[in-house]
Amino acid sequence: MMPRRILPAVTTVTAAAVLLTGCTPTSVDPVRVTGSSTVAPITAHMARAQQVAIEQTTDGTLDGFEEFCRGESHINNASVPITDDLAALCAENDIEFIELPIALDALSVVRNSANGAVRDLTMEELGAIWAPDSAVTTWADVRDGWPDEEIVLVGRPEGSGTFDYFTTAVNGEAGQIREDYRATDDIDELTGWIAGDADALGFMGIGNYLAADEEDRNVMATVAVDGVEPSLAGVQDGSYQALTRPLFLYVSVAALEEREDLEDFVSGYLDEVHDHLPLVYYYRFQEETYDKVRARFDERVTGSLLDGVPQDDVDIEALL
């Protein structure tokens, strides 16, 4: 089980904009940010640290790309790389983008802490639970000796990068998942469901888990996957590789040309995010990786480093 940590609240909402500012916002016309609710706490924190006004929505990476690729936002937070079809949408609308890796996430399987029997699951067992044609309904169906109690499954919906990554890693293809689970883009709602039911099982980013409301966080626990917890050590030594993923910012080149404040915000973000990530409970790349990311931004290197699908074996440093 991961240790308990407490994060000051960051205000984001699903499908509705929230204005986030520091003490003295530097722009009365906020930077528009769409996309991932996994990445949103990092971006909100960096905006507050720089006293930059942003208007941020958290309706999921892929849904955010739909807006970004129509020119409706300046930045898209992303927990998976842009897909080929969405890159084509950007191209259709003459939206050039810079893809900027900014952190690492250990996608976490989370249970209610009252369920002390279920402390670990194998990837094979996760596949059995979450498969589209799964016959699993109780914990006893998963492993002999476990409680004969119905599993209450919760998670992220279609349109979320976390959904695409989890389904790819667990079931072999993005979007392949059983239909009888509760889904939401609202992380507070998701953690509340797990905290409120002793037989709940869900998935979310490690930072979302560690930053949950203290009351909920005290009654949740991570599940080890193939014997490995979603810890920094597991990410760094590769033992948690199957559910480790990079997190990104996608920045509009046209917006950069039009807005000096956007250039300043992204520059400051890249310069400082390595030092700030522990404050929002996400994991960081090696410090020299951020030099390469900053060079990618400064040189306006457009397009994606990846091939449009979630991957569990990405070496970002080698690609930069």
Model pLDDT for residues 32-64, shown as the tens digit of each residue: 999 999 999 999 999 999 999 999 999 899 999
CA–centroid distance for 202 within its chain: 14
- Catalogue all structural domains in the chain, each as residue range(s) with its CATH number: 18-104+245-319 (3.40.190.10), 106-242 (3.40.190.10)
Task: Decide if pLDDT at 15 tops 60.
Answer: no
Q: Which of 42, 223, 264 is nearest to 123 (CA)?
A: 223
* CA pair distance 285, 317, nearest whole angstrom: 9
Residues 43, 49, 52, 56, CA torsion sign: positive
What are 111-147's pLDDT values in tens digits?
Answer: 999 999 999 999 999 999 999 999 999 999 999 999 9
Quote the pTM value: 0.87
274: amino acid identity, one letter: H
Average pLDDT, the chain: 90
Q: Work out the average pLDDT over 10-36.
A: 61
CB-based contacts of 258, cutoff 8 Å, min separation 6? none
User: Which of the two residues, 31 and 316, has the higher pLDDT score?
Assistant: 31
Hey, how many other C-beta atoms are within 10 angstroms of the C-beta on 204? 27
* CA pair distance 81, 20, nearest whole angstrom: 25
62: amino acid identity, one letter: L
Helices (H) and strands (E) in the chain, counts: 14, 13
Question: Position of tokens 């492993």?
Answer: 143
